[in-house]
Structure 1
Amino acid sequence: MNRLIGSIIIISLFFYGCVADQKIDEIINRFRTEYVGDLREHVFDISYERLGGFSVILRGETDNSEVKIQLLDTLRSHGFQIQDSIIVLPHNVSQPWALIDLSVATMRSKASHTAPVVSQGLMGMPVKILKEDGGWAFIQTPDRYLGWCEKAALCFVDSIRLMEWKKSPRVMITSRSTTIKDVETGKICGDVVAGCLLEEVERDGNKIVVKTPSGIIGYVLKDEVSSFNQKDFPPEVNPQKLKNTALNFIRTPYLWGGTSVHALDCSGFIKTVYRLQGIELARDASLQARYGQLIPVNQGWTLFQTGDLLFFAPRKGSKKITHVGMYLGDSEFIHEAGKVKVNSLDSTRSNFSSFRKLTLVKARRVLQNFDSEGIVPLLEHPWYIEK
């Protein structure tokens, strides 16, 4: 009898534990899907250890203190006793902000040179420092994308220095690539590419004296830059200028995670083209597809306008978005697929792509739709401009 009772108790405790685990998993997964957002843009890595009964240790990281509080309250409302070991980022960082100090800085999925590239940042781009690991920093870029970057590529700043930088006169490099030269000797003292931001020190004829985030002073030529202001980056983006900018990238090679003129992935290409018009887009194609005016795709290209973003699936019948291009007009679109190239949706054209026509699943209008978190004028972005 005692053995039977013992077996019943063990089975009951096992069943009880399974139910408890199931409930914790259910609550954590619900928070991850309903409250956190995309994990490419938000941190939510929570695990648990059940000590027995309803006593639980929660471990992990999040970048949202409110979500953490709500998660703990929800678990407690279900009778769980919580030992809280969740870290809220930023955590234990030397400075809360940094400015990218190289022409192109690589972001990786882990703090390792062997980890996959996930994105890139350009000189003068402000980034939030969320945590550090040796010579690496886990950063968030202005488009909210997350990744690990070498500290050597960053100039760490406090909030006061960041505010000074946001208020300073700046120029954006608009030539494909150039160099910063020493004012006295003319020797090269830095490399910059289209989209980099530099502080403007003074103008001297056709030369503009500039300063990098780390304080290197040199000059670039006047026709290589645009002033970072409303005159050169007006609120109304010119579709023809957007088109011309995109066509200047023809045959630029492909690189997974690339967002610079040296090499790009498909969404990095679109981001760079729009950045050079003063617009910050979301990072990946599937993220970009969430923002802007939705344009029907079941009528062919008849409703598309220059600058519209076209989104494609990996195969016919799929709705998963894995590729993006920009409509140029007259059935043609430009995209990065092995290299930047122009294809047509018109079967009578020599550059017609039957594959892209069959896999076109969504279109979004970005122009005149700067009213969402995924389409933000740089001159209105709080990370770039002090309001």
Structure 2
Amino acid sequence: MKAFIFGIIISLSVLFLGCAGDRKIDEVISRFQDENVGDLRENVFDISFERVGGKTFILSGEIDDRTLKSALMDTLIANGFYIQDSVVVLPHNVSAPFGIIDLSVATMRSSASHTASMVSQALMGMPVRVLKEKGGWVYIQTPDRYLGWCERAAVQFTDSAGWKAWKKVPKVMVTSRCSVIRDKATGDVVGDLVAGCLIDATGRKNDKVFVATPAGTTGFVNASDIVPFDEVHFPDSADVQKLKKRALSLLRTPYLWGGISVRALDCSGFTKTVYRLQGIVLARDASLQARYGEEIPVDHGLEVFKTGDLLFFVPRKGSDRITHVGLYIGNSEFIHEAGKVKINSLDSTRLNYSRYRANTLVKARRINGCREAEGIVHLLKHPWYAEP
């Protein structure tokens, strides 16, 4: 009987020590993530562990930064753990590490399935990192660092040499709300375009600009629908009146969760689109956009705001979770996507005053004139579009 009881005690002790070890390694990994890994909408850090005995663990999962993985391993070892490494560094087992979006609008989803929720979109001419593949799907990262799955057919794959060569080809950006590529000989439509698409320019004749998509579809676009992708048309500082005009041109555009094309938008997709057409890349979601730019106080009166400032809102007063963004256009008004693109005022004397938005405004950021790595980047200086 004593031996039996002693065995139970030993078993319980091992179980207790094992549980304590599990909690400890979980705490170390969680603390490391909090201190070293950014937002998981922009960074891959999916780490799990399995104890195989004592303080020995199998570490598995995915991460997109080899240096960060090494730092994690060093941290765990420094905390007394013995690690068997099964963590995969992305990209992994991909056809090519880079790609260029070849559809006018490519849907990005939360998983590799048509039934998965849409998280964002990518436009033709957007360079992407290809991180992994699954069947007919690829896991990509767009220039704003956002992550999602899109159909393999939407991407023209390339290696680092091909990506470098692509950067050197003259390009045009579509500025008309919608356009098409037409066959040179017949004039038939051979491709679809929306504002913000970027395509190679191969020549011009009168009012026709000859173009090629990333996958090699050729034809012409009306010159009035595009502008050269250069510093003349996309200067370092955005023209706020053009910014306002572009925003107003999107009035009544319908809402779509994850939408960043002029056909349908979500709130942050709207502000991204307006700024993209002025040559500036913003972060994807409202809560991410709220991290960048010059912070403007929201309790010093409306006179502190300037056209082009981003206004950020929470779902209810007292909340600290930013879920909505709008673009200030002057005279107490802001334009935003909420069911449709519309204009509201923060002035209680105005007919379009929104008491709800006035009460839930918590932050404002000035984008124009600010240049911060990743959060606010000029397209022509973004390393994925231009040579360093």
**What TM-score does the superposition give when structure 2 sets the normalisation length?**
0.98
Q: Tell me whether 1:344 sits opposite 2:345 in the alignment.
A: yes
> What amino acid is the match of 2:38?
G
User: Counterpart in 1 of 2:287?
Assistant: 286
User: Counterpart in 1 of 2:150?
Assistant: 149
User: Counterpart in 2 of 1:269?
Assistant: 270
Cα offset, 1:12, TM superposition: 1.5
User: Counterpart in 2 of 1:310?
Assistant: 311
Contact 2:275 2:281 in 1 (8 A): yes
Cα offset, 1:347, TM superposition: 0.5
Distance in 2 of aligned mates of 1:145 and 1:341: 26
> What amino acid is the match of 2:377?
V
Distance in 2 of aligned mates of 1:161 and 1:290: 34
Contact 2:292 2:372 in 1 (8 A): no
Distance in 2 of aligned mates of 1:202 and 1:65: 42
Distance in 2 of aligned mates of 1:251 and 1:367: 25
Distance in 1 of aligned mates of 2:99 and 2:246: 29
User: Counterpart in 2 of 1:234?
Assistant: 235
> What amino acid is the match of 1:372?
A
Taking every aligned residue pair, what percent have the same amino acid on both sides? 62
User: Counterpart in 1 of 2:160?
Assistant: 159
Contact 1:310 1:326 in 2 (8 A): yes
User: Counterpart in 1 of 2:52?
Assistant: 51
User: Counterpart in 2 of 1:72?
Assistant: 73
Cα offset, 1:13, TM superposition: 1.1
Cα offset, 1:157, TM superposition: 1.1
Deviations 1:15-57 (A, max 9, x none): 2112101111101111221111100000000001101211110
Distance in 2 of aligned mates of 1:282 and 1:79: 38
Contact 2:344 2:354 in 1 (8 A): yes
Distance in 1 of aligned mates of 2:81 and 2:317: 47
User: Counterpart in 1 of 2:371?
Assistant: 370
Distance in 2 of aligned mates of 1:49 and 1:215: 48
Deviations 1:233-291 (A, max 9, x none): 11121110100000000000000000000100000000000000000000000000000
Runs of 5+ in structure 1 lacking a partner?
none
Cα offset, 1:7, TM superposition: 2.6
Cα offset, 1:216, TM superposition: 0.8
User: Counterpart in 1 of 2:212?
Assistant: 211
Aligned length: 387
> What amino acid is the match of 1:278?
G
Contact 2:345 2:353 in 1 (8 A): yes
Deviations 1:344-372 (A, max 9, x none): 00011110000000000000000001233
Distance in 2 of aligned mates of 1:67 and 1:377: 27
Distance in 2 of aligned mates of 1:73 and 1:235: 42
Cα offset, 1:79, TM superposition: 2.1
User: Counterpart in 2 of 1:85?
Assistant: 86
Cα offset, 1:338, TM superposition: 0.2
> What amino acid is the match of 1:10?
S
Once the two structures are superposed, the pairs formed by residues 172-251 of structure 1 within 5 Å of their partners are: 172-251=173-252
> What amino acid is the match of 1:222?
A
Contact 1:176 1:194 in 2 (8 A): yes
More divergent stretch after superposition (332-341 vs 154-163): 154-163
Q: Tell me whether 1:30 sits opposite 2:14 in the alignment.
A: no
User: Counterpart in 1 of 2:137?
Assistant: 136
Cα offset, 1:75, TM superposition: 1.4
Deviations 1:187-228 (A, max 9, x none): 000000000001000010111000000111110111111100
> What amino acid is the match of 1:81?
Y
Contact 1:291 1:372 in 2 (8 A): no
Q: Tell me whether 1:107 sits opposite 2:108 in the alignment.
A: yes
Distance in 2 of aligned mates of 1:80 and 1:161: 43
Q: Secondary structure at the match of 1:302?
A: helix
Q: Tell me whether 1:117 sits opposite 2:102 in the alignment.
A: no
Distance in 1 of aligned mates of 2:125 and 2:45: 28
* 4+ runs deviating over 4 angstroms: none
Runs of 5+ in structure 2 lacking a partner?
none
User: Counterpart in 2 of 1:16?
Assistant: 17
More divergent stretch after superposition (81-90 vs 10-19): 10-19
Contact 1:100 1:126 in 2 (8 A): yes
More divergent stretch after superposition (190-199 vs 300-309): 300-309
Superposition CA RMSD, Å? 0.8
Deviations 1:117-139 (A, max 9, x none): 00000001000000000100000
> What amino acid is the match of 2:28?
I
Distance in 2 of aligned mates of 1:302 and 1:3: 80
